[in-house]
Amino acid sequence: MQKNNLSRLVTVALLIAFSIVFRRFLSINTPIQSIGIGWLPILVAGMAYGPGWGFLAGALADFIGANLFPIGAYFPGFTLTAGLSGAIVPVLLGRSRWHSSYLQLLGAVAFSELITSVVLNTYWLTIITGKAAAVLLPIRVANAAAITVVISILFFALRPQIRRALKVR
């Protein structure tokens, strides 16, 4: 049991590290938008080990990344949103998350992006920047739509390899 827990902890730590690298160094960051695949390792953590681990991975990746490699001032709302992004898809797909169809996965990712990126992160940005949500929404909705498709395709295509590498049932 301890070996399994240690293995899970190390795997989630590696996924957090990948997320930080993808988000902080391999994405396009602006004051109101980030374009990249930093969410993919967090999705993998949630899908492999459940929504609790996905939430933990997302929140820690955001907190550590924001403090080690800041893009702007740290804001805890984004950490909450990052955690939720790791938990929503596994909750929606339930126990069948590894056997879901592409359309089920796409729907769950779209719902997660709607709640986290479009609604919550836009709200946090209105607090930080003082800009109206109507000004921020068009670019945020377009990015969320694109990221939904990209993340869904990547995860669906890599799902067999991820399951094999992480030895997930």
- Reported as a single tens digit per residue, the pLDDT across 83-125 is 999 999 999 999 888 899 999 999 999 999 999 999 999 999 9
> Rounded to two decimals, what is the model's pTM?
0.91
Query: What pLDDT was estimated at residue 2?
Result: 62
Q: What is the CATH number of the domain that holds 105?
A: 1.10.1760.20
Between the alpha carbon of residue 141 and those of residues 88, 110, 115, 138, 157, the distances in Å are: 18, 11, 11, 5, 24
pLDDT (tens digit per residue) in 2-48: 668 888 999 999 999 999 999 989 888 776 677 889 999 999 999 99
CA–CA dist 160, 111 (Å, integer): 23
Structural domain harbouring 65: 2-166
- The predicted pLDDT at position 31 comes to 66
Q: How many independent structural domains does the chain possess?
A: 1
Helix residue ranges per DSSP H, 114-132: 122-129
Q: What average pLDDT does this structure show over 66-81?
A: 92
